[in-house]
Amino acid sequence: MAEVDLQSRRRRLASQYPEVRALTEELAAPLSPEDQTVQSMPDVSPTKWHRGHTSWFFETFLLQPDLSGYTPFHPAFAYIFNSYYETVGARHPRAERGVISRPGVAEVAAYRRHVDDAMSELLGTGPAGDPLGLVELGLHHEQQHQELLLMDIKHVLSRNPLLPAYRPDSAPAASSARKTRWIEHRGGTVEVGHRGDGFGFDNEFPRHPVHLTPFALADQPVTCGDWLAFMEDDGYRRPELWLSDGWAMVQQQGWDAPLYWSRPGPVEGGGSRGHASGWQVFTLAGDRPVDPAEPVCHVSYYEADAFAHWMGDRLPTESEWEVVAVDQPAGTTLLDLSSLHPSLPHDGGSQFFGDVWEWTSSAYCPYPGFRAAPGAVGEYNGKFMVNQYVLRGGSCVTPADHIRATYRNFFPASARWAFSGVRLARDL
């Protein structure tokens, strides 16, 4: 029976592998070689680097140790495309990825084909045991980079005075505004974390009990209309609403609206282009008026916390979010190339998955009993468990089969380029 299960798993991964790899190439396809080389800030990586790094992962952790006679595509790629795995060797500085004009896009594509051909052979000959787990990890790792690719190219294109669209046809339909409802939970001792059925990252384990006091969660994320009211009430100019570090960041960076929002000047004939608020938002489909009914996006933890204080509410803990979300339907506003921007459902239903990653008030820390995996893959999550906050729920650029209620994303409190938004909580 174990052998049957192993063969079934191998066949499933052999089928999934080309699908995941092909989607990465589809996401890169609208971009020119010049687009794919730009790095607009240290946290952004060029598109071609994402394509190379995800190939490096399979080459380094699977092909070199497990495929007899495998020859690496290029000896320097181990240095160029390593991200943060110190135990496997030196790496090119993250903030300088944009200065690498070579290898070019065509050579990166050849690298991907080289790795794919070898992986097809490896999966065909049948890696057993742990290597299959590494294949699955590598596929989910590539799905993470698919989201990062879209996050990063959005920032790159936003810095171009031409404000070019990544995909002009990817604008969603307008959202439908409705009153927020509250989902109550009686609290008590609950269990959170991955149950062990299906794939999970190591930071989702082990499952463990937590005690919750009675609370309620909003059944939808905060909207742009809500955020406009916060701004009109001088939310970005009232220090009493902000954490000390957040207020310092507002002053230092000059924040007065979410990332990618702008307020253009008057146009010929009077008035301003865009919505009555005057605010525009840059999207992957280009610049357009802010839709008050859609979820607000690209806000930092500091902004999310300040908004919650302004509302008289708070951010949920990640345990509160999980115990409510686990009973909610799967999201429909996940990665779809025809709609790469948040929007709320028109049926008025609750929405917990997709649209925007939602900040929680929980610091990104190990669960009780967590142990990093041995070897280099142990650097995947554990080393980042400091100075970051957990986000839950996925976004409009998260692959649909990559998200689950136990998924723990994480970013520093000042990060804004992720597709991050806000869901409110309150005590009962």
Q: Is residue 174 part of a domain?
A: no
In this structure, is residue 341 part of a structural domain? yes
CB 27 within 8 A of CB 153: no
146 and 207 share one domain: no
Q: With beta carbons less than 8 A apart as the criterion, state whether 397 and 419 touch.
A: yes
* Final residue belonging to a domain, choices 102, 126, 158: 158
294 close to 343: Cβ distance less than 8 angstroms: yes
Is there a contact between 207 and 195 (Cβ–Cβ < 8 Å)? yes
pLDDT(269) > 60: no
**What pLDDT sits at residue 273?**
40
Same domain? For 186 and 150 the reply is no
Angle at 391 between CA 388 and CA 395, to 5 degrees: 135
Q: CATH no. for residue 300?
A: 3.90.1580.10
Q: What is the per-residue pLDDT for 346?
A: 65
DSSP state of 338: T
Does the residue 269 lie in any domain? yes
Backbone angles phi, psi at 69, to 5 degrees: 80, 5
DSSP symbol at 407 = -
Q: Which pLDDT does position 7 carry in this prediction?
A: 80
Neighbours of 138 (CB within 10 A): 23
pLDDT band for 88, please (50, 70, 90 cuts). Answer: confident
- Give yes or no for a contact between 397 and 338, defined as CB atoms under 8 angstroms apart: no
Flag whether 173 is in a domain. Answer: no
DSSP state of 122: H
Whole-number pLDDT of residue 3:
60
In this structure, the strands spanning 357-363 and 286-289 are: unpaired
User: Both 252 and 106 in a single domain?
Assistant: no
Structure tokens given for 140 = 């989910």
Burial annotation 76-106 (CB, 10 A radius, 16+ → b, else e):
ebbebbbbebeebeeebeeeebbebeebebe
Question: Is 170 within a domain?
Answer: no
Per the structure, the count of domains in the chain is 2
Do 271 and 144 sit in the same domain of this protein?
no
Torsion of CA 247, 248, 249, 255, to 10 degrees: 60
Instruction: Provide CB contacts within 8 A for 231, sequence distance 6+.
Output: 256, 257
Rounded Cα distance between 60 and 377, Å, is 11
Spatial distance between the Cα atoms of 426 and 313, rounded to a whole number of angstroms: 5
Q: Of all residues in the chain, what percent carry a pLDDT higher than 90?
A: 80
Q: Write out pLDDT tens, residues 228-268.
A: 999 999 999 999 999 999 999 999 999 999 999 998 765 44
What average pLDDT does this structure show over 350-371?
Answer: 94
Domain assignment present for 171: no
Q: How confident is the model over 179-191, as pLDDT tens digits?
A: 999 999 999 999 9
Q: Is residue 230 part of a domain?
A: yes
Shared domain check, 342 and 273:
yes
User: How far is it, in rounded angstroms, from Cα 136 to Cα 64?
Assistant: 17
- Predicted pLDDT of residue 272: 38
Predicted local confidence at residue 347, as pLDDT: 67
Same domain as 206, residue 132: no
Does 286 share its domain with 398? yes
Instruction: Indicate the residue among 124, 143, 158 that finishes a domain.
Output: 158
Q: What is the mean pLDDT of residues 122-139?
A: 81
Residue 90 lies inside a defined structural domain of this protein? yes
Buried-exposed string 379-397: b where 16+ CB fall within 10 A, e elsewhere: bbbeeebeebbbbbbbbbb
Same domain, 187 and 61: no
Full residue range of the structural domain in which residue 419 is found: 182-427
Confidence of residue 58 (pLDDT cuts 50, 70, 90): very high
**Statement to judge: residues 53 and 150 lie in one domain:** yes
What amino acid occupies position 355? Answer: D
The rounded Cα 409 to chain-centroid distance in angstroms is 7
The model's pLDDT over 144-196, given as tens digits with 9 standing for 90+, comes to 999 999 999 999 999 999 999 999 988 777 777 789 999 999 999 999 999 99
Last residue within a domain, chosen from 126, 142, 158:
158
Q: Whole-angstrom Cα distance, residue 174 to residue 108?
A: 38
Distance in Å from the first CA to the final CA of the chain: 50
Mean pLDDT of the chain: 92
**Per-residue model confidence (pLDDT) at position 8:** 84
Side chain identity at 9, as an amino acid letter?
A: R
Gap between the Cα atoms of 410 and 403, Å rounded: 14
Say yes or no: 8 and 58 in one domain: yes
Q: How many angstroms separate the CA atoms of 244 and 234, rounded?
A: 17
326 and 209 assigned to the same domain: yes
Q: What is the mean pLDDT of residues 84-90?
A: 88
Query: What DSSP designation does 78 have?
Result: H
- Non-local (6+) Cβ contacts of 4 within 8 A are none
For residues 290 and 331, state if they share a domain.
yes
Under a CB-based contact definition with an 8 Å cutoff, are residues 224 and 175 in contact?
A: no
